[in-house]
Amino acid sequence: MKSSRIGQRLGIGVGIGVVFLIAVGWLSLRGMAAMNASLQRIANEPAVVVGLTNEVLQRSIDNARITMQLFVVSGGPSEEQLLAQNLENTKLISAGMEKIEELLSNEKERALFNDVKTLRTPYLDSRAEVKKILAAGRRDAAIAMANDDMIPKLMVYRAAWNRLLAAQNDALNAAVAEGTARYQATRAMALSLIVLAALAATVIGAAVTRRIATPILDLTRTVERVSRERDYSLRAVRSTSNELGLLADGFNDMLGEIQKHNVALQEARDGLEEKVKERTHDLESANVRLGATNDELSAATARANETAEALRASEQRTRAILENMLGGLIMVDPQGLIELVNPAAERMIGYTSAELVGKYMGPLLSLPPGADPHVFLREVLGKSLGKVTELEGRRKNGEIFPLELSLFQVDTPEGRRFAGSIVDVTERRGVDRLKREFMSSISHELRTPLTSIRGSLGLLAGGVLGPLSAEAGEIVAVAERNAVRLIGLINDILDLERLEGGRLEMELESVEISPIVTRALEAVQSFADQAGVSLVAEPASVRVRADADRLVQVLVNLLSNAVKFSPAGSTVTVRVVPGPSMAEFQVEDRGRGVPPALREAIFERYRQVEASDSRRKGGVGLGLAICKSIVEQHGGSIGVRDAEGAGSTFWFRIALASVARSSLSGSIKGALGLALLVDDDEELLSILELRLAQDRVATQRATTAREAIAAAHALKPDLLVLDLGLPDGDGSQVVDALRRDKTLRDLPLLVYTGRDLLQGDRERLVLGPTRYLTKSREAEDEFRSVALELLAEGARRSA
Amino acid sequence: MKILIIDDEDDIRAISRLALGRVGGMEVVEAASGMEGIARAVADAPDAILLDVMMPEKDGPETLGLLKADPRTAGIPVIFLTAKAMASEVERLRALGAKGVLTKPFDPMSLAANVRAILGAG
């Protein structure tokens, strides 16, 4: 901004100079013009006189000519014309002469003019005489008179004029000479003036330069010096009071500011040094204090080192254990990423620790065909935690091997971890196989002699070989009974081996239950008769999905147990209560009941309510374990509860064979559809049932994954409402199982869970139209509206 | 009713003979091996055959195959007698063309009735 103002001002300065130069030039020209005018005035005066004189002379000559013509012409109009002309001329000559007399200023010309006037009169008199004579008609006399008198007088008169003219010419020439001289003088003066003006411009220019350029140069020089020397006390010279002066002032102000800041900086620096000194001092004193506590510190360090040493030793010990233990150990984070692999595990799976750490553990497991590794892994983590489970492992070379996993949870500072102790059970499996083969062959080998013994005893006891004495009959009966028990025992052991080895094939088909109940009752009847226990059946006509022979086996087991533990004279009741999706088989006794604490334990192997039972009642306690195994392979569940009154009710539920839908939703007239509600929270189920009932949606419930799968197969519901955390596994198992059934894979699904679902979960948990709601976080009645939407969507799709 | 028992175990044959003959009132013919059983089946033309599964040389299924291949014996109903009580085993044996399967050990007093039930079932 400032520079542009300077430019503006420089322009103004130059402008002033130019204007001054123009003014000087103009003045010079004005001077010359004035001089020219005066020269003209000088030349004009004589010229007028000369002009007048010339005119007078011309008239005079014209008169002389008229006079001559008058000689020639005589009378007539032309004579008159000539005379009028003559008169006119004479008048003009007189007027001209008067004017000339007025104009003449110098004496010599006046004198010469007076001569002209004086000499004119004789000529005019003579000419008048001639005219008179001529008018008298005496031409010849007139001519003579003119020649002799008038012409010599005219000549004299004309000579006077000539003298005047000459004088006037001289005066004119003198005036011209004088004008020229004056012009030259004036021109010289003008030139001098221009030179002077140029000089003046130069001087002004110099002044301008001094006033504009010098301060700028000065300013520049000062700026350069300031920037070079960093001397902010320097000041630009303020030489003028104009804008440049202001510029210099501005610059100086700026320098002043800079100097001020510089001084402040300097002060700050000085202060800083002061502070550094103070701090140094503080530090020194702190150092002293530090020195004082140093001993303390080294003592603490020593202690810490000891602790660290102890820790290191402990860690080394732990590591040594980890590295030398024969069992494999793998630790994974909740996402299944491997964090630790010990050498035993490395040897087992063929990978090195470096190859595994940070990787997903999925590839270490052999998955069932078609299983999603994430789902499978989550199931494994859920199922195996705190237990020993067997899985199929996969070695680096692709070999599949049986693997026993004991999974436990570790809470580390970095968060929850799952640690698994893994054992390669290939050898054990080999031993198991040998054992099974042995059991199979031994059982066969046992069966053959047992068949003979039993057969022989049976024939004897049956009196086929002749009547026996009462004592003999009793003894043979004892032998036969024990032979039968032995056979039962062998059968139980074999069954259990096969069931737990997963080698007991089940043929699940739709079977009517009444013949099954009848078969079971027949099998136990004689035993019950012996025990004095009556058997009562409350039949129902229901079809279930089951292996008929195995179902009989379960019922026989439960019935004989009931008989075994029932007092004589009591009744054992078997009944089947068809539910909407499952049929519940109940075997009710009037025995002593099962203490609540043992209600789960009695379904384990070799367990009985009392140790003495096995001696007193017979059996090795395999029956219920076998029942449980069989029922579970049917997708059902088994349990025991107190019977009303006294005794126990052993029950098991298995899925109904596909039933006509109308009979199921019968409780709700014109139901919109059937929703299968899967949740282990029975209270919540009741609430959901009520809510859906409002919308005329029929409902069925399942409390475990197994039940849910069985019910879905049996009922073909219109909507599945699924909780994820189920007692026997994860809801995703249900989804996986249903997806494999093409009649169920498009079933509308409402995942209704308290868990927060990850995107991965959502991708896996999909059947037909699928929605996700978080329990207790859904909006009022959102559950109902979403359930209805899904039912509608499902109906639309199947239409 | 004439029934042929084919079993390599003498004891089992003895009990079976008593259970079927004495208890069931059937005419019993015995054979101790598969080959002998086939010969007896041709010679005696029994109404049914009770065939043991586990036998040396020709076992039960092989013997059954030979019986079914021979037009003279193909029409005789065969009931297997096995110590393996597994459902799959029973299915397998049925699939081979047996009329029925009875398991060992059996109750000698009801063996004949069980055989009659199987044959009577069509």
Report pLDDT digits (tens) over A436-463.
777 777 777 787 888 888 888 888 888 8
- Answer whether residue A549 shows pLDDT above 50: yes
**A462 contacts in B (CB within 8 Å)?**
23, 108-109
Q: What percent of chain A has pLDDT over 90?
A: 5
> How high is the pLDDT of residue B114?
92
- Joined together, the tokens standing for residue B101 give 């399967």
Residues in chain B with CB shorter than 8 Å from the CB of A456 are 15, 108
Residue A547 contacts B where some CB pair is shorter than 8 Å? yes
Q: By mean pLDDT, which of A36-50, A504-518, A718-732 is the weakest? A: A36-50
Which of these ranges, A186-190, A557-561, A666-670, has the smallest mean pLDDT?
A: A666-670
State pLDDT tens for residues A191-206.
Answer: 676 677 677 767 776 7
Closest chain B C-alpha to A490 CA, distance in angstroms: 11
- Lowest mean pLDDT across A49-63, A620-634, A762-776: A49-63
DSSP A515-534: HHHHHHHHHHHHHHHHHT-E
The pLDDT of residue A618: 52
Which class does domain A2-219 fall in?
A: mainly alpha
pLDDT for B116:
93
CATH architecture of B2-120: 3-Layer(aba) Sandwich (3.40)
How many other C-beta atoms are found inside a 10 Å radius of the C-beta of residue A215? 22
Q: What is the mean pLDDT of residues A117-133?
A: 83
Q: Using an 8 Å CB-CB cutoff, list chain B residues near A505.
A: 86-88
Asked if A464 reaches chain B (Cβ–Cβ under 8 Å), the answer is yes
Least CB–CB distance from A507: residue in B16, B87, B109: B87
- Residue B62: pLDDT band (50, 70, 90) is very high
Q: How confident is the model at residue A669 (pLDDT cuts 50, 70, 90)?
A: very low
State residue A122's pLDDT score.
86
B113 at interface of A, judged by CB pairs closer than 8 A: no
Q: At residue A612, does pLDDT exceed 50?
A: no
Asked whether the predicted pLDDT for residue A617 surpasses 60, the reply is no
In 3-state terms chain A splits into helix, strand, coil percentages (rounded to 5) of: 65, 15, 20
Band (pLDDT 50/70/90 cuts) for residue B118 is very high
Residue A667 pLDDT > 70, yes or no? Answer: no
Task: Search chain A and give the residue with CA nearest B10.
Answer: A452
pLDDT digits (tens, 9 = 90+) for A699-749: 888 888 888 888 888 888 889 999 888 888 788 888 888 888 888 888 899
Quick check: A505 contacting B, CB < 8 Å? Answer: yes
User: Which range has the worst mean pLDDT, A290-299, A526-535, B97-106?
Assistant: A290-299
Q: Percent of chain A scored above 70 by pLDDT? A: 79
Domain map of chain A by residue range?
2-219, 325-424, 505-657, 668-798
Query: B15 and chain A: CB distance < 8 Å anywhere?
Result: yes
Q: Is domain A325-424 given the CATH code 3.40.50.720 in the classification?
A: no
The minimum CA-CA distance between A653 and chain B, rounded to whole Å, is 22
Tell whether the model's pLDDT for residue A619 goes beyond 70.
no
Q: What is the mean pLDDT of residues A414-421?
A: 84
Chain A residues with CB inside 8 Å of B85's CB?
Answer: 491, 494
User: A660 pLDDT band (50/70/90 cuts)?
Assistant: very low
Separation in Å, CA of A449 to nearest CA in chain B: 8
Omega of the bond leading into A46 within 30 degrees of 0 (cis): no
| Each residue's pLDDT tens digit, A201-233 | 677 767 766 666 676 777 777 777 776 776 767
Interface residue A482 vs chain B (CB under 8 A)? no
Model confidence at B3: pLDDT above 90: yes
Indicate the helix (H) or strand (E) that contains A1.
none
Name the residue facing A454 among B85, B87, B105 (closest C-beta): B105
Average pLDDT over residues B99-121: 89
Amino acid identity for residue A671 in this structure = A
What does the pLDDT average to over A133-160?
79
Enumerate the β-bridge partners of residue A720. Answer: A676, A749
Confidence band for B65, pLDDT divided at 50, 70 and 90: very high
Predicted confidence at residue A238, as pLDDT, reads: 67
Cα separation, B29 vs B23, in Å, equals: 15
Reported as a pLDDT band with limits 50, 70 and 90, residue B49 is very high
Q: Which residues of A touch B23 (CB under 8 A)?
A: 459, 462, 464
What's the rounded Cα separation, in Å, for the pair A134 and A72?
10
- Report pLDDT for A255: 67
Give chain B's length.
122
Residue A662 has pLDDT above 50, yes or no: no
Answer whether residue A286 shows pLDDT above 70: no
Size of interface A-B (CB pairs under 8 A): 78
Quote the pLDDT of residue A780. Answer: 66
Distance CA A310, CA A146 (A): 178
- CATH of A505-657 given 1.10.10.10, 3.30.565.10, 3.40.50.300, 3.40.630.30: 3.30.565.10
Is-contact B46 B28, C-beta < 8 A?
A: no
The CATH superfamily of A668-798 is Response regulator (3.40.50.2300)
Look at residue A484 in the predicted model and tell me its pLDDT.
83
Q: Which among A55, A49, A32 is positioned nearest to A175, based on CA atoms? A: A49
What is the predicted pLDDT for the residue at B31? 95
Catalogue the long-range contacts made by A387-395 (C-beta closer than 8 Å, 24 or more residues apart): A390/A425, A391/A365, A391/A366, A392/A365, A392/A366, A393/A348, A393/A349, A393/A364, A393/A365, A393/A366, A393/A422, A393/A424, A394/A349, A394/A363, A394/A364, A394/A365, A394/A366, A395/A348, A395/A349, A395/A350
A504 touches chain B (CB under 8 A): yes
Model pLDDT, residue A121: 85
Cα–Cα nearest to B5, from B109, B67, B80: B80
Predicted pLDDT at A666: 37
The distance of A430 to chain B (nearest Cα, Å) reads: 22
Question: B7 pLDDT exceeds 90?
Answer: yes
Which residues of chain B lie closer than 8 angstroms to A449, CB-CB?
11
Which tens digit of pLDDT belongs to each residue from A94-112? 888 888 888 777 788 788 8
Nearest alpha carbon to residue A160 among A5, A53, A289: A53
Mean per-residue pLDDT over chain A, rounded:
78
Best mean pLDDT range from A393-402, A606-615, A650-659, B78-87: A393-402
Q: How far off is chain A from B102, nearest CA to CA, in Å?
A: 12
Q: How would DSSP label each residue in A100-153?
A: HHHH--SHHHHHHHHHHHHHHHHHHHHHHHHHHHHHTT-HHHHHHHIIIIIHHH
Chain A contact for B9, CB < 8 A?
A: yes
pLDDT (mean) for B50-58: 90
The secondary structure of residue A643, as a DSSP letter, is P
Residue A523: band (very low, low, confident or very high) from pLDDT cuts 50, 70, 90? confident
Using CA atoms, how far apart are residues A130 and A466, in angstroms rounded to an integer?
234
Q: Among partner residues A448, A456, A549, which is closest to B83 by beta-carbon distance?
A: A448
A1 — pLDDT class (breaks 50, 70, 90): very low
B12 touches chain A (CB under 8 A): yes
Q: Evaluate if residue A554 carries a pLDDT over 60.
A: yes
pLDDT at residue A674 is higher than 70: yes
State the pLDDT at residue A632. Answer: 83
Confidence of residue A664 (pLDDT cuts 50, 70, 90): very low
Question: Per-residue pLDDT for A535 more than 80?
Answer: yes
Distance CA A665, CA A699 (A): 8
Q: B11 and A443 in contact by Cβ < 8 A?
A: no
Binning chain B into helix, strand and coil, the percentages to the nearest 5 are 45, 20, 35
Q: Is A506 in CB contact (< 8 Å) with chain B? A: yes
Confidence (pLDDT) at A35: 60
Contact (CB, 8 A) for A595 and A642: no
Q: Residue A254: which pLDDT band, with cuts at 50, 70 and 90? A: low
Question: For position A572, what pLDDT does the model report?
Answer: 93
